[in-house]
Chain A
Amino acid sequence: MMTKKLHVHTVINGEEVEFLCEPRQSLLEVLRDTLGLTGSKEGCNNGNCGACNVILDGSLVNSCLVLAVEVEGRSVVTIEGIAGPEGLHPIQQKFLEHAALQCGFCTPGFIVAAKALLDQNPNPSEEEVRHWLSGNLCRCTGYDKIVRAVLDTAQVMALQSTKR
C-alpha cells in the first residue's frame, strides 16, 4: 500500500529542487529513480559500502541511510555536482591520472568522500586518508592508487591555493 506522498523542497548541487516522495523512500532512491541522478550507486543499502555517498549540509553521509523527506530545506551535493563549469575537479582529474578506478562503480562514492575529506583537512597523511576512506569499499584496486590520487590532489590543490 502507498501512503500519501510528501512535498520536499531542497537544494541539490546548487539548484533548488522540489519533489514528491513517500516517507519510506531513501534519499538514494529518490536521487536515482525520481530525479535521474544515477551517479550515486547502491552497493549495499545499509551503510556499509559508501557507494551512495553524498554531502548533506557540508557533511558526508550515506544517502541510503537518509530519508528523502529529511532533506527538506537542506542542501545536498552529489557526484554530479563535483565537477564545475570549468571542468573536472582536481580529485576527478587525479583519479584519472593515477588510474584510481577499475570498474568505476565505487568511484563516485570515493570521489565524494575524498572531496569531503579535503574540504575539512586539506593536507591529510596517508593514515588519515585510509581512515577517512574506510567507509568506502573498493573491490578492484586494493586502494593503493586511490590513496595516491587523494594525496596527490591535496598537494596540487595546496599549490593552486598558494598561487592565488
Chain B
Amino acid sequence: MQSLDYLSVRSIEETLAPLSNGKRHVKILSGGTDLLVQLREGITQADLIIDVKNVPELVEVTFNSAEGLRIGAAAPCSQICHNAAVLEHYPGLVDAFSLIGGVQIQNRASIGGNLCNASPAADAIPALIVHQAVCVISSPMGERRVPVEQFCTAPGKTVLRPDELLVSVHIPPPRHNFGAHYQRFIPRNEMDIAVVGAGASVTLDEEGNTFQSARLALAAVAPTPLFIPEVGEFLAGKGVSSETIEQAALIARAAARPISDLRGTAEQRKKLSAVLAKRTLEKAVERARV
C-alpha cells in the first residue's frame, strides 16, 4: 500500500473541511473491507484517509413509526442486522445485510461503504431500492437527498461530488400488507460475490390477494444495481398467482443486461434473473400476508 496520512474525526463538519479544500486525495474509511483491499492492490489511490467511525450521526441506527428508519452511513452490517426495529419491521433488509461477507466482514462493512463502493453486485443496494430508501448527502453547501436507485452511476462511481459525504440512508416507515425479500445466487454457500441478486417488495390489498404495488431490483446484471419499474407497473392491480409472478419474473429477465465475467456468463445470469425474481417475489408475498 502507498504511504498515506490518517485522520480520525468526531463530527461531520470536521470531515467536510478536508473534503472541500480539494488539496488532498481523500478517501473515507468506515469498515475498510473494500477500501483497504483496493488501496493495497493499487485499484484506488489516496494520500489521506478519514476514519468516520467516531462520528455519532454516522454510526447511529434509529427508528420511529412516523419517520421510519435512519441508518448512519458508517453503521456496520452486523449492527443493522441485530437492531430490534430492523429485525421487526424490515426483514427484507436483514436478508441483504446478513449476506455481505462472513461474520468478520459483517462486523466492519458498512451500509455507506456498500453504496459508495458502487459495485454492480452489491447486495445491500437492491434491497434498499425496493424499500424506497433515500441517501442523505452533506456538503458545505448543505444537504441533498438522492433515491438509492439513482446513487450509483457506473461500476465504482456514484453521484457524490468530491466535497460531499454520504451521511445516512432513510427508509420509509413500514406499511400494512407490505413484504420484502432479498436473495442472491452464489456458487458456494458463503464468501462469494453475487452471480445475480434479486430484491423485491410488494404491498397487497387487505385480503392479500391483489398486488397494490411492487418493486423489484437486481444485482450483477447491469453496470449498476438495476431497478426495474416495469415489474411494479405490471404487477400493480393484478391478482397474486404463480402465473403473474412468473410473468413478472420474465419482465425482470428481459430488463437484465448482464455481461460474462469470471463469476458467471451472461446467459447464466439471464436465466438466474428470472429464477431469483420469481423466488424473491414469492417470499415477499409470503411476508406481506403475515
Contacts and interface: CB of A to CB of B under 8 A. Distances in A.
Interface stretch (B31-39, B66-74, B207-215): B31-39
Interface string A1-38: 11100100000000000000011101000000000000
B282 interface: no
Interface residues of B, number: 29
A134 B6 contact: no
A62 B105 contact: yes
B104 A47 contact: yes
Contacts of B40: 45-46
A50 B241 CA distance: 44
B51 A135 contact: no
Interface stretch (A67-75, A89-97, A98-106, A154-162): A67-75
B105 A135 contact: yes
Nearest to A58: B107
B226 to A, nearest CB: 27
Interface residues of A, number: 33
B2 A47 contact: no
A23 B49 contact: yes
B101 interface: yes
Contacts of B53: 70
Contacts of A56: 107
Q: Give me the 7 closest cross-chain CB pairs, A-B, nearest first.
A: A135-B102, A134-B190, A23-B6, A59-B107, A24-B1, A46-B37, A62-B104
10 contacts: A2-B3, A3-B3, A50-B102, A59-B107, A60-B107, A61-B104, A65-B32, A65-B108, A70-B51, A135-B103
